[in-house]
Structure 1
Amino acid sequence: MAKLYKAATWLSVFGIILASYLFYSYLAPVPPGLCDITATVNCDAVTKGPLAEFLGLPVALIGLVGYILILYSALMKLPKLMLAMAAFGMVFCLRLTYLEIFVEKVFCPVCGACQIVMLALFLIALKLYLVPRSRR
């Protein structure tokens, strides 16, 4: 189980880096534009557009806080908290992915990477949660 916690730790750190970039892009007057490939493959369209906020909060900040809490749960070996945060993150990511692709008709590569990281964290958290306590 130690390997799963270690993997969750590193994935969380990677997620924090990705979400930090997206949050910086949200805050910056002139976004860095590192992943603006075309009009439809474009991070700025997401970080500066109508999907940038949810209930008045920056989506990237919500993701950043989520990854930090998952990192904490991995370091403290709290599988229930990790699963709860990763499940929320998965639902949130699925909602955003749907809105990006089908409503805004744009794809954010960094957002896609965040979604893959969250899926991996969810699968790890689920496995850790389902393992009997005596084996954790």
Structure 2
Amino acid sequence: MRRLMSIVAILAVCGVIVSSVSLQHHYATSKTEYCDLGETFNCDIVNRSEYSSILGIPVALIGMLGYAAVAGLATVYRERRDTPALLLGGALAGFAFALYLTYIEGRVLGAWCILCLSSLALITSITPLSFVVWVRSRD
């Protein structure tokens, strides 16, 4: 189980990094060429839309904090008895949130953010691993 937790932690740190870049992009005043590949793949459209913040808090910051919490659970609090359940709950919440944001990208904005899709891939990987950790902790 220690190895699974290490993999979750590494993926979560990658999530913090991706979310940090996305947060910087959210506040950037100039166009970022590496993430804007036309109308279909355009981080500017997504990261500066009305959906990029919730109650004034950038979605990227929420992602950073969520991934940091997952990384913390998978490392610092790895030995606590309630960690597997908390980890799974956090991963499921993050996955649901990422699916909602992906729906907004595709159906409402009509543009995809490469950073957001990277984050979706990370949380999609973290979630089943967290489930396995939770199942194994019950044995």
Are 2:84 and 2:137, in contact at CA under 8 Å, matched by a contact in 1?
no
**Cα distance, 1:40 vs. partner?**
1.5
Aligned to 1:104: 109
After the TM superposition, list the runs of 4 or more consecutive aligned residues in structure 1 that deviate by more than 4 angstroms.
none
Q: 2:92 aligns with which of 87, 91, 100?
A: 87
Mapped partners of 1:88, 1:61: distance in 2: 15
TM-score by length of structure 1 reads 0.92
Task: Report percent identity of matched pairs.
Answer: 31
5+ residue gaps in structure 1? none
What TM-score do you get using the length of structure 2 for normalisation? Answer: 0.91
Residue identity opposite 1:85 in structure 2: G
Gaps of 5+ in 2: none
Q: How many residues are aligned here?
A: 134
Aligned equivalents of 2:90, 2:8: Cα separation in 1? 12
Is residue 118 from structure 1 mapped to residue 123 from structure 2 by the alignment?
yes
Q: Give RMSD over aligned pairs.
A: 1.3
Whether the 8 Å CA contact 1:33–1:43 is kept in 2: the answer is: no
Number of the residue aligned with 2:52: 52
